[in-house]
Amino acid sequence: MAKSSRETKFTLKLVVDEERKKVVFAEACRDFVDVLFSLLTLPMGTIVRLLKNHRKSEPFPVGCFTNLYKSVVGMGIDDFETEACKQMLLHPRSLRDVECKRLKLNLHPTDGTKLFVCSPYGCDMCSGFSTSRCRCGKLMNKEIPIPRADVVDNIEDGVFVRDRSSYIITDDLKVSVRSTDLVLRKLKSVGCGDLRKVSERLVEIGLDEVMTLLECIFSSNASLTDTFLNKQSPKRVMKPCTAPSPHMVKEIEARPEEVITFSAIVRKHDMKILYVECGEDFVDLLFTFLAVPLESALEISGENFNFGCIENLFKSFKELNASKNSRSKAVLPYYYRWSKQLLNIICEETPFYNSSLCCVIDPKSHGRDQSKKGSGFVKRHTKFTVSDDLIILPMNSSSALCFLKKLESPTDEIQVQEISISKTQAASLLRASLMTSSALKAAFWNSTSKKPKQET
Ligand SMILES: [Zn+2]
C-alpha cells in the first residue's frame, strides 16, 4: 500500500442521536464521497484480497467470493493455461484504475499498466505480463514504456462526482448533495426534530475506517454507526440459501446459442446439489466473477439486495456519478476475454495502449501458439469439482471415494444430472455468489427440482 494512502485522513462531521447512540448522517467533502464510491469500482477479487489483509485473523467473507479466491490461490500454476492467468485473477485489473489514481485515498493503487517484450527485442510482440512467453520462445520480461493515451483530466474535477459542495451521507449510505431541506427532513424522519437530542462530532477517517466501511456495505444497515460508534467488526449476516433462487428482476438479453454443461451430483430426497463435476468452461466462468467490478456485479444481478447498504450506495453512485466513463455495461480489460463468456459483460477489443510498435499478445495463450486466442484461464481438458459454496478443486487432487464419503449419503440416495446453463443462469449464479454462502443451490434450484427423477 502506498504510504500516502496510509496517511491520508478525511474529517467527517457526524450528527449523532445521543439517546439512541446512532449516527443520523455525516457531512463529508467531495473527495471523501469519491473514495466511498470507488469501493463500488473494485473488482470482486480485489475486495476479497483487501478484506483479507484488513482482518488477517478472521477475514470478512463476501458471499462465495472468498472461497472462489481461495480456490485460485490453492491451485498450482500447472492448473492454469499460463502463469499470467493466475496472476490476473489474484490481482484483477480494472479499466477504472486510471480514474482511481486521482483519488485522495486509493485503496488499491496499481503501478499502472506495464508492457513487456522479449529480450533482446527482436520480435514485434508485447504483453502486459512479465511472465508471458514470446513466439520466439523467450520470456517477455523486458519492460518498455507505454505510449500514453493523452487524456489529461482536470484535477479540479472530482473523480466520480463533480459538484464541489458538501454531501450528506446517511447511516445506511444514501449519498446526496447537502441542502437545508434534506437535513431537516432527515432529522425529522428519525424523530430528532428537537435539536437538543443531537450532537455533532468530528471524526477522522483513514484507510482502516474505509476498510471497515467496505465490510459494512455488505453486512450492516447502519454502516456509519458500526464504523465510528460501535467500532466493531460487523456481524456476519450472509445467510445460507433457504429459499429458491432469488427472482431475476432484470431482463437478461437472450443469447441462447451459448451454453455450458456440467454434471450436478444431487441428493434425491431434497434435490439439493451436493457438488458439481465440470470441465474448464464452468470454472472459467466462475473465475471471471473475480475480475468483475462490484458495480457491474450489482448491475448484472438485478435489484433487491436484502443485505447491507449496498443497494443505497449503488443507487446514489448512479445518481451522482458524472464520470465521462460511466457505462451501462461492464467493460473488462481485453485479456479477460474468452470464447464462452456467458455474463453480460464486454471486454475491450484491444488495450488502450495498443500501438504500432508491437502486437499485444493474449497472456492466456502460449507465445508460440497464438491460435488459442480467447481461451480461458484454466488448463484445457481438466475436470474439476465445485462445491455448493464454490470451492473449486482439480479432480486429480482428491480421490473419488474420499469425495463420496464426505457427502455422508448412501449411494442410492445420490443421482447425477446433466445441467446446461446459459446467460440467465450465469447471472443468477453471480447474484447467488454475492448474496449467499450456498451459490449452486440458490442459483440452480429450479434446474434440478423441475426435472423428473430418473435413475442413473
Ligand atoms: Zn521474441
- 349 CA → ligand 1 middle, Å: 23
343 close to 427: Cβ distance less than 8 angstroms: yes
- The predicted pLDDT at position 26 comes to 97
First to last CA, the chain: 53
Which residue do the cell numbers 428537537 mark? 194
Task: Please state, in angstroms and as integers, the Cα–Cα distance from residue 321 to each residue in 227, 236, 300, 304, following that order.
Answer: 25, 30, 18, 21
Q: Is 400 helix (H, G, I), strand (E, B) or coil?
A: helix
Question: What's the gap in Å between 419 CA and the centre of ligand 1?
Answer: 43
Structural contact between residues 280 and 376, judged by C-beta atoms closer than 8 angstroms: yes
How far is it, in rounded angstroms, from Cα 28 to Cα 10? 8
Distance 124 CA to ligand 1 centre (A): 7
Distance 113 CA to ligand 1 centre (A): 20
Q: How many whole angstroms from 119 Cα to the centroid of ligand 1?
A: 7
Q: Write down the pLDDT at residue 149.
A: 54
- pLDDT for res 456: 40
- Residue 165: the pLDDT is 83
- Predicted local confidence at residue 349, as pLDDT: 75
pLDDT at 150: 45
Q: What is the pLDDT of residue 444?
A: 86
Ligand 1 centroid to 130 CA: how many Å?
Answer: 13
CB neighbour class for 309 (10 Å; exposed up to 12, middle 13-18, buried from 19): buried
Q: Which residues of the chain fall below pLDDT 50?
A: 1-3, 150-152, 238-255, 450-456
Tell me what pLDDT residue 6 has. Answer: 65
pLDDT for 417: 92
HSE of 339, CA atoms in CB hemisphere, 13 A: 10
Task: Report the amino acid identity of residue 53.
Answer: N
Per-residue exposure over 317-356, b if at least 16 CB sit within 10 Å of its own CB, e if not: beebbebeeeeeebbbbbbbbbebbbbbbebeeebebbee
Per-residue confidence (pLDDT) for residue 327, from 0 to 100: 61
